Amino acid sequence: MIYRAAIFDLDGVIADTARLHLIAWQQLAEGLNLPWTADTEERLKGLERMASLEVILGEKSSNYTEEAKIALAARKNSRYQELIRSLSPADLLPGAGELLAWLNSQHIPVGLASASKNAPAVLEALGISRCFSVIADPEKSAPKPAPDIFLAAAKGLGIDPEFCIAFEDAPAGVSAIKSADGMTAVGIGNPDSLKDADYMLDSLEQFVPNDFFLSVLAESGMRQNKDLAVNE
Ligand code: BG6
Ligand code: MG
């Protein structure tokens, strides 16, 4: 398959911000004397803010009112925002900057499908906002593992989901891609927890874009034969 667009998760794919989310959640859990078990980290990946809080609170959830939960989530978010203040282009994960630059140079549309409401600020700090032509709004989509945010990104790019390839580090994110109307999932990171991904990489550095994309520049010369553009 030759793809026409790329869609990225942000935290843990483009920058090591998944780690910063975990630091902020872990500090909140410690402050509340809540357990931090071995699988907490994996379970939190990709989950939106209030769903993450429920994982942290676990069986203690019913001890907190909705108001108290909103205050706890806001506390975690303030800590996270402190942590991302020091981000710079040096914090791009290996291969991320190079891949985005290549996609932009080939005029291949690039979208973001992150659950994070802080994504625009993180992209700005990393110096890559202008690499994305669409940033899907997590407040307008059902949270991952629902496919909605990936479908919204594809729609914003004007490319059918089956011609989009999407990159994710979280099990919930890979599930979202796999239910997004034929979209292809590239898992980044832990192969044990991302078994449903179509491709698996340790990092974006291993991704060879020439093998996957039809450049818009090349396509302009191929428009007469549509089949050619979608063949393996
Ligand atoms: C995801 C992260 O990208 O965004 C999660 O993987 C995080 O860890 C979620 O909880 C929501 O982020 P935010 O910044 O809106 O609280
Ligand atoms: Mg992620």
Task: Judge whether 9 counts as a catalytic residue.
Answer: yes
Q: How far is the CA of 4 from the centre of ligand 1 (A)?
A: 27
Q: For residue 230, what pLDDT band results from cuts at 50, 70 and 90?
A: very low
Local structure of residue 108 (DSSP, 8 states): -
Alpha carbon distances (Å) from 179 to 120, 145, 148: 25, 8, 9
Question: Ligand 1: which atom is nearest the Cα of residue 12?
Answer: 6
Nearest to 149 by CA among 120, 124, 126, 172: 172
* pLDDT of amino acid 189: 94
Question: d(Cα 46, Cα 11) in Å, to the nearest integer?
Answer: 8
pLDDT tens digit sequence for 141-189 = 999 999 999 999 999 999 999 999 999 999 999 999 999 999 999 999 9
Is pLDDT above 70 for 34?
A: yes
Question: Ligand 1: which atom is nearest the Cα of residue 22?
Answer: 8
Nearest to 135 by CA among 162, 111, 169: 111
The residue type of 97 is G
The residue type of 22 is L
pLDDT tens digit sequence for 51-81 = 999 999 999 999 999 999 999 999 999 999 9
Instruction: Name the residue with the closest Cα to ligand 1, atom 7.
Output: 48
Report the predicted TM-score, pTM, of the whole model to 2 decimal places: 0.91
Candidate from 19, 52, 81 with most ligand 1 atoms within 8 A of CB, to mutate: 52
Q: How far is the CA of 19 from the centre of ligand 1 (A)?
A: 11
Is pLDDT above 90 for 219?
A: no
Task: Judge whether 192 counts as a catalytic residue.
Answer: no
